[in-house]
Structure 1
Amino acid sequence: MISHVFIGVNDFDRAFTFYSAVMGELGHKLKFCERDKPWAAWMAEGMPRPLLLIGRPYDGNSAERGNGQMVALLAPDRRSVDNAYASALANKGSCEGPPGLRAHYHPDYYGAYFRDSEGNKICVCCHDPVTR
Protein backbone atom coordinates (compact mmCIF):
# COMPACT_ATOMS: atom_id res chain seq x y z
CA MET A 1 0.00 0.00 0.00
CA ILE A 2 2.78 2.48 0.85
CA SER A 3 5.54 3.24 -1.66
CA HIS A 4 7.43 5.78 0.44
CA VAL A 5 7.10 8.40 3.12
CA PHE A 6 9.01 11.69 2.81
CA ILE A 7 9.69 13.76 5.92
CA GLY A 8 10.78 17.33 5.26
CA VAL A 9 13.70 18.60 7.35
CA ASN A 10 15.55 21.89 7.70
CA ASP A 11 18.78 20.71 9.34
CA PHE A 12 19.70 17.74 7.15
CA ASP A 13 22.85 16.72 9.05
CA ARG A 14 21.07 16.67 12.42
CA ALA A 15 18.08 14.79 10.97
CA PHE A 16 20.37 12.33 9.15
CA THR A 17 22.13 11.51 12.43
CA PHE A 18 18.76 11.07 14.17
CA TYR A 19 17.21 8.81 11.52
CA SER A 20 20.40 6.81 10.98
CA ALA A 21 20.33 5.83 14.66
CA VAL A 22 16.60 5.03 14.79
CA MET A 23 16.46 3.16 11.49
CA GLY A 24 19.57 1.17 12.43
CA GLU A 25 17.85 -0.03 15.60
CA LEU A 26 14.94 -1.24 13.46
CA GLY A 27 17.29 -3.14 11.14
CA HIS A 28 16.78 -0.88 8.12
CA LYS A 29 19.61 -0.09 5.72
CA LEU A 30 20.58 3.20 4.14
CA LYS A 31 19.61 3.05 0.46
CA PHE A 32 21.20 6.39 -0.45
CA CYS A 33 22.38 9.70 0.95
CA GLU A 34 22.89 12.67 -1.36
CA ARG A 35 24.07 15.59 0.75
CA ASP A 36 24.10 17.99 -2.22
CA LYS A 37 20.28 17.75 -2.64
CA PRO A 38 20.07 17.01 0.44
CA TRP A 39 18.09 13.81 0.90
CA ALA A 40 18.48 10.24 2.15
CA ALA A 41 16.41 7.06 2.26
CA TRP A 42 16.26 3.82 4.26
CA MET A 43 14.72 0.47 3.40
CA ALA A 44 14.26 -2.98 4.88
CA GLU A 45 16.96 -5.48 3.96
CA GLY A 46 16.23 -6.98 0.54
CA MET A 47 13.04 -4.97 0.02
CA PRO A 48 12.91 -2.16 -2.56
CA ARG A 49 9.81 -0.61 -0.93
CA PRO A 50 8.61 1.03 1.18
CA LEU A 51 11.20 3.74 1.68
CA LEU A 52 11.50 6.31 4.43
CA LEU A 53 13.04 9.48 3.03
CA ILE A 54 14.20 12.70 4.67
CA GLY A 55 15.24 15.87 2.92
CA ARG A 56 14.74 19.52 2.21
CA PRO A 57 11.35 20.34 0.69
CA TYR A 58 11.44 20.35 -3.11
CA ASP A 59 9.89 23.81 -3.32
CA GLY A 60 12.80 25.33 -1.37
CA ASN A 61 10.59 26.58 1.46
CA SER A 62 11.11 25.70 5.09
CA ALA A 63 9.93 22.28 6.28
CA GLU A 64 7.08 22.51 8.78
CA ARG A 65 5.61 19.70 10.84
CA GLY A 66 1.93 18.97 10.54
CA ASN A 67 -0.39 18.95 13.53
CA GLY A 68 -2.08 15.56 13.71
CA GLN A 69 0.43 13.90 11.37
CA MET A 70 2.53 10.97 12.52
CA VAL A 71 4.67 8.34 10.86
CA ALA A 72 4.53 4.89 12.49
CA LEU A 73 7.48 2.57 11.89
CA LEU A 74 7.08 -1.18 12.33
CA ALA A 75 9.60 -2.84 14.65
CA PRO A 76 10.48 -6.54 14.44
CA ASP A 77 10.11 -6.99 18.21
CA ARG A 78 9.59 -5.14 21.49
CA ARG A 79 13.30 -4.85 22.21
CA SER A 80 13.71 -2.96 18.93
CA VAL A 81 10.96 -0.56 20.04
CA ASP A 82 12.86 0.07 23.28
CA ASN A 83 16.19 0.51 21.47
CA ALA A 84 14.78 2.82 18.77
CA TYR A 85 13.14 4.98 21.45
CA ALA A 86 16.41 5.20 23.40
CA SER A 87 18.30 6.10 20.21
CA ALA A 88 15.74 8.77 19.38
CA LEU A 89 16.13 10.45 22.76
CA ALA A 90 19.93 10.15 22.60
CA ASN A 91 19.89 11.97 19.23
CA LYS A 92 17.94 15.11 20.12
CA GLY A 93 14.48 13.54 20.02
CA SER A 94 11.86 14.19 22.69
CA CYS A 95 9.42 11.84 24.42
CA GLU A 96 5.76 11.73 23.42
CA GLY A 97 5.08 8.43 25.22
CA PRO A 98 7.60 5.86 26.48
CA PRO A 99 7.66 2.25 25.29
CA GLY A 100 4.88 0.10 26.63
CA LEU A 101 1.77 -1.93 25.96
CA ARG A 102 -1.22 0.00 24.72
CA ALA A 103 -3.95 -2.59 25.08
CA HIS A 104 -6.62 -0.03 24.14
CA TYR A 105 -5.37 -0.50 20.52
CA HIS A 106 -5.15 -4.29 20.82
CA PRO A 107 -3.74 -6.71 23.44
CA ASP A 108 -0.30 -7.07 21.83
CA TYR A 109 0.30 -3.48 20.67
CA TYR A 110 3.66 -2.34 22.06
CA GLY A 111 4.76 1.12 21.02
CA ALA A 112 6.75 4.24 21.77
CA TYR A 113 6.16 7.79 20.60
CA PHE A 114 8.67 10.59 20.16
CA ARG A 115 9.42 13.75 18.20
CA ASP A 116 12.37 13.75 15.85
CA SER A 117 15.05 16.45 15.88
CA GLU A 118 12.74 18.66 13.77
CA GLY A 119 9.60 18.15 15.86
CA ASN A 120 7.86 15.57 13.62
CA LYS A 121 5.90 12.95 15.56
CA ILE A 122 7.13 9.38 15.10
CA CYS A 123 5.83 6.09 16.47
CA VAL A 124 7.75 2.81 16.63
CA CYS A 125 5.56 -0.20 17.28
CA CYS A 126 5.34 -3.99 17.34
CA HIS A 127 2.05 -5.88 16.98
CA ASP A 128 3.32 -9.33 17.90
CA PRO A 129 2.77 -11.10 21.21
CA VAL A 130 5.76 -11.80 23.41
CA THR A 131 7.32 -15.13 22.51
CA ARG A 132 8.68 -17.19 25.35
Structure 2
Amino acid sequence: MIDHSGLSVADFDKSKAFYEQALAPLGASFLVQIPPEYTGGVKVGGFGQDRAVFWLNQGEPHRPSVHFAFTATTHAQVDAFYAAAMAAGGTDNGGPGLRPHYSEHYYAAFVRDPDGNNIEAVCRVPQ
Protein backbone atom coordinates (compact mmCIF):
# COMPACT_ATOMS: atom_id res chain seq x y z
CA MET A 1 0.00 0.00 0.00
CA ILE A 2 2.80 2.48 0.81
CA ASP A 3 5.35 2.97 -1.96
CA HIS A 4 7.76 5.19 -0.02
CA SER A 5 7.88 7.55 2.93
CA GLY A 6 10.30 9.59 4.97
CA LEU A 7 11.20 12.09 7.64
CA SER A 8 12.17 15.70 8.06
CA VAL A 9 15.34 15.85 10.14
CA ALA A 10 17.09 18.71 11.91
CA ASP A 11 20.62 17.68 10.89
CA PHE A 12 20.64 15.82 7.57
CA ASP A 13 24.26 14.68 7.75
CA LYS A 14 23.92 13.39 11.33
CA SER A 15 20.69 11.53 10.49
CA LYS A 16 22.14 10.16 7.25
CA ALA A 17 25.11 8.74 9.18
CA PHE A 18 22.77 7.26 11.82
CA TYR A 19 20.53 5.55 9.26
CA GLU A 20 23.46 4.31 7.16
CA GLN A 21 24.73 2.43 10.20
CA ALA A 22 21.35 1.38 11.62
CA LEU A 23 19.87 0.10 8.34
CA ALA A 24 22.97 -1.72 7.08
CA PRO A 25 22.16 -4.95 8.98
CA LEU A 26 18.78 -4.98 7.18
CA GLY A 27 20.49 -4.81 3.78
CA ALA A 28 19.57 -1.18 3.14
CA SER A 29 21.94 1.60 2.15
CA PHE A 30 21.93 5.23 1.09
CA LEU A 31 21.11 5.11 -2.62
CA VAL A 32 20.51 8.63 -3.86
CA GLN A 33 20.91 12.28 -2.97
CA ILE A 34 18.74 14.67 -4.96
CA PRO A 35 20.72 17.57 -6.45
CA PRO A 36 20.07 20.82 -4.56
CA GLU A 37 18.82 22.58 -7.69
CA TYR A 38 15.75 20.27 -7.55
CA THR A 39 15.08 20.75 -3.83
CA GLY A 40 15.42 24.48 -3.32
CA GLY A 41 18.78 23.87 -1.66
CA VAL A 42 17.42 21.45 0.95
CA LYS A 43 19.33 18.19 1.46
CA VAL A 44 17.17 15.23 0.40
CA GLY A 45 18.26 11.61 0.08
CA GLY A 46 16.86 8.10 0.06
CA PHE A 47 17.65 4.67 1.48
CA GLY A 48 16.62 1.24 0.28
CA GLN A 49 17.79 -2.06 -1.10
CA ASP A 50 17.11 -1.84 -4.83
CA ARG A 51 15.40 1.56 -4.88
CA ALA A 52 14.96 4.42 -2.43
CA VAL A 53 11.90 3.85 -0.25
CA PHE A 54 12.84 5.68 2.96
CA TRP A 55 13.68 9.36 2.52
CA LEU A 56 15.25 12.04 4.69
CA ASN A 57 14.95 15.74 4.05
CA GLN A 58 16.56 18.54 6.02
CA GLY A 59 13.91 20.55 7.82
CA GLU A 60 11.93 20.92 10.98
CA PRO A 61 11.61 17.51 12.70
CA HIS A 62 8.11 16.07 13.08
CA ARG A 63 6.32 16.84 16.34
CA PRO A 64 5.07 14.68 17.80
CA SER A 65 7.71 12.19 16.70
CA VAL A 66 6.79 9.43 14.28
CA HIS A 67 7.24 5.65 14.13
CA PHE A 68 8.75 3.61 11.31
CA ALA A 69 9.10 -0.18 11.36
CA PHE A 70 11.62 -1.79 9.00
CA THR A 71 11.34 -5.43 7.94
CA ALA A 72 13.94 -7.92 9.12
CA THR A 73 14.05 -11.48 7.84
CA THR A 74 15.68 -13.01 10.93
CA HIS A 75 15.94 -12.40 14.65
CA ALA A 76 19.68 -11.94 14.14
CA GLN A 77 18.98 -9.02 11.81
CA VAL A 78 16.81 -7.39 14.49
CA ASP A 79 19.60 -7.87 17.03
CA ALA A 80 22.18 -6.42 14.61
CA PHE A 81 19.92 -3.46 13.77
CA TYR A 82 19.56 -2.67 17.47
CA ALA A 83 23.31 -2.92 18.14
CA ALA A 84 24.15 -0.80 15.08
CA ALA A 85 21.53 1.85 15.87
CA MET A 86 22.71 2.12 19.46
CA ALA A 87 26.36 2.36 18.33
CA ALA A 88 25.31 5.12 15.90
CA GLY A 89 23.96 7.23 18.76
CA GLY A 90 20.39 5.96 19.04
CA THR A 91 18.54 5.80 22.35
CA ASP A 92 17.02 2.56 23.62
CA ASN A 93 13.25 2.36 23.31
CA GLY A 94 12.87 -1.41 23.75
CA GLY A 95 15.62 -3.95 23.18
CA PRO A 96 15.33 -7.01 20.96
CA GLY A 97 12.77 -9.59 21.97
CA LEU A 98 9.44 -11.23 21.33
CA ARG A 99 6.37 -9.02 21.61
CA PRO A 100 3.62 -11.65 22.03
CA HIS A 101 1.08 -8.93 22.84
CA TYR A 102 1.37 -7.95 19.12
CA SER A 103 1.43 -11.48 17.74
CA GLU A 104 2.98 -14.83 18.53
CA HIS A 105 6.04 -14.42 16.28
CA TYR A 106 6.61 -10.64 16.54
CA TYR A 107 10.32 -10.19 17.32
CA ALA A 108 11.38 -6.54 17.36
CA ALA A 109 13.68 -3.85 18.69
CA PHE A 110 12.99 -0.13 19.09
CA VAL A 111 15.43 2.78 19.03
CA ARG A 112 14.97 6.56 19.07
CA ASP A 113 16.80 8.28 16.20
CA PRO A 114 18.66 11.63 16.56
CA ASP A 115 15.33 13.53 16.30
CA GLY A 116 13.50 11.27 18.76
CA ASN A 117 11.54 9.23 16.21
CA ASN A 118 10.71 5.64 17.17
CA ILE A 119 12.56 3.38 14.73
CA GLU A 120 11.87 -0.35 14.80
CA ALA A 121 13.15 -3.48 13.13
CA VAL A 122 10.68 -6.37 13.16
CA CYS A 123 10.80 -10.03 12.13
CA ARG A 124 7.51 -11.90 11.95
CA VAL A 125 9.02 -15.26 11.00
CA PRO A 126 9.15 -18.00 13.66
CA GLN A 127 12.75 -18.88 14.54
Interval containing the TM-score (normalised by the shorter chain): 0.7 to 0.9
Query: In the alignment, is residue 52 of structure 1 matched against residue 51 of structure 2?
Result: no
Query: How far does residue 35 in structure 1 lie from its aligned partner after superposition?
Result: 7.6
**Structure 2 Cα separation of the partners of residues 2 and 113 of structure 1:** 21
Query: Which structure 1 residue ranges, 5 or more long, are not aligned?
Result: none
Does 2:121 align with 1:124? Answer: yes
Q: Per-residue deviation at 1:105?
A: 1.1
Q: Does 1:66 align with 2:64?
A: yes
Uncovered stretches (5+) of structure 2, i.e. residues with no partner: 37-41
Distance 1:103 1:3, change over 3 A: same
Aligned length: 122
- Report the alpha carbon displacement of residue 7 of structure 1 after superposing the two structures with TM: 0.8
Change (3 A) 1:15 1:35: farther
Amino acid in the other structure paired with 2:44? W
Q: Deviations over 1:16-74 (max 9, x none)?
A: 110001121100132202484312111223xx46x0011113xxxx223425x311111
Distance 2:62 2:93 in 1: 18
Which residue of 44, 48, 65 corresponds with 1:43?
48
After the TM superposition, which parts of structure 1 deviate over 6 Å for at least 4 consecutive aligned residues?
Answer: none
Q: TM-score, normalised by structure 2?
A: 0.87
Q: How does 1:1-132 map to 2 (within 5 A)?
A: 1-34=1-34, 36=36, 37-45=42-50, 48=51, 51-57=53-59, 62-67=60-65, 69-130=66-127
SS in 2 for 1:64: coil
SS of corresponding position for 2:77: helix
Q: Percent identity?
A: 31
TM-score of the superposition, structure 1-length normalised? 0.84
CA-based RMSD? 1.7
